[in-house]
Amino acid sequence: MTDTSTGPNQPAPRETILQIAPYIPGKSAAADIATRHKLSSNETPLGPSPKAVAAYAEVAKRLADYPDGSAGELRAAIAERFGLNPDHIVCGAGSDEILSLLAQAYLNPGDEALFTEHGFLVYRLATLAAGGVPVAVPERDLTADVDALLAAVTGRTQIVFLANPNNPTGTYLPFEEVRRLHAGLPADVLLVLDAAYAEYVRRNDYDSGLSLVADNANVVMTRTFSKIHGLAGLRLGWVYAPGPVADVLNRVRGPFNITAPALAAGIAAVKDTTWTDKAAAHNDVWLPRVTGTLETLGLPVTPSVANFVLVHFPEDTGRTAADADAHLVAQGIFLRRMEAYGLPGALRMTIGSAEANQAVVDALATFLGREPVEA
């Protein structure tokens, strides 16, 4: 274990830094076990667009050149795709970097940032790294509770992070509830709408928040290329923000915070809507199939609108999530443990290929002593 102690005769980090538990990504390997199916990180089973791969490879011929520090062509492609003003778009090394930059820019030491109790772990990490105070707000039925969030706002609150849909629960707030949350916040509190999984949602009452950003000075919306675009290995994301917020982010981000290969692949990916439609269609088929099959096995599943499901292992079954994980890992199947999210009785499963989905169902049926079921 790393020694985190500090003394009077050595450099000392900001006090809140040592409160950070380092982020642990989804497991993808285990000693002496070949990985068959990695369903721990919400990666798309279709991979990236072939056009994005080709664009990435083309840039390999020019790696000695600095990338476009303004990400101008990528911002223009995003703006065209969604009908936005490119001047209000800022790109980052994954939406994680953008979340951290927002915390760095808008939290003074001691300021509070709110998020839901089972929200994305990076909100807490980014807040502590900026010297802020993370405030986890109770959810209702594993879903963000607008009234609880508003009740938690104090004079020290500067940011409210809302993942919509939420990771790892897969639940979401209808847009009218998001509007109600925003309407109840003070004008100087920044509402950060994290829409990493927006492309997967098929609900008429859902909206990623672009219109709310366009009409208000204290709302931003972040997106990622890591999920439906299949570019997680390149670390690429973006935020749509009011002009003054975009200006602040451009002041604090690194001058070349996105690599040239990532820019090229991102431009090609955002233009290839046929590929993202294909990825969404795959999820449309398999999300309900996996959900229904797991429930047939007696495992409760939190209703999800994203590309993953939260699978629960009730205590009265005598079969724990940890035991299920060990059983799966022994067969080279990796799901995500949920202890870090305060959900030790659950595993999160990414919707994978047909083969991967069936492999999980088969393994869990064996684990539970049930007859095999076709997913």
pLDDT by residue (tens digit) across 198-211?
A: 999 999 999 999 99
Mean pLDDT of 297-313: 97
Cβ neighbours of 73 (radius 10 Å): 14
Q: At 135, which helix (H) or strand (E)? A: strand 133-137
Give the residue range(s) of CATH 3.90.1150.10 domains in the chain.
Answer: 15-47+274-368
110: number of Cβ within 10 Å = 11
Instruction: Round to whole Å and give the CA distance between 239 and 101.
Output: 11
Query: What is the rounded average pLDDT of the residues 91-114?
Result: 97
**Nearest of 305, 341, 337, 303 to residue 115 by alpha carbon:** 341
Peptide bond into 165 cis (omega under 30): yes
Please, what's the largest Cα pairwise distance for the chain?
64
- The CATH number of the structural domain formed by 50-271 is 3.40.640.10
Chain region(s) in the chain for CATH 3.40.640.10: 50-271
Amino acid 35: pLDDT: 72
Is residue 92 helix, strand or coil?
A: strand
User: Counting beta carbons within 10 angstroms of the beta carbon of residue 196, is it exposed (0 to 12), middle (13 to 18) or buried (19 or more)?
Assistant: buried
Q: Give the span between the Cα atoms of 77 and 285, in whole angstroms.
A: 29
The distance of Cα 17 from the centroid of its chain, to the nearest Å, equals 22
Assigned superfamily of 15-47+274-368: Aspartate Aminotransferase, domain 1 (3.90.1150.10)
pLDDT at 1 over 50: no
* Residue 297 confidence (pLDDT) above 90: yes
Specify the pTM: 0.92
Instruction: Return the pLDDT at 16.
Output: 77
pLDDT tens sequence across 18-68: 776 766 666 666 656 677 899 999 999 999 999 999 999 999 999 999 999
Share of the chain above pLDDT 90, in %: 87
Per-residue confidence (pLDDT) for residue 203, from 0 to 100 = 97
Task: Return the pLDDT at 4.
Answer: 57
Count, in order, helices (H) and strands (E) of the chain: 12, 13
Q: Three-state DSSP class for 268?
A: helix
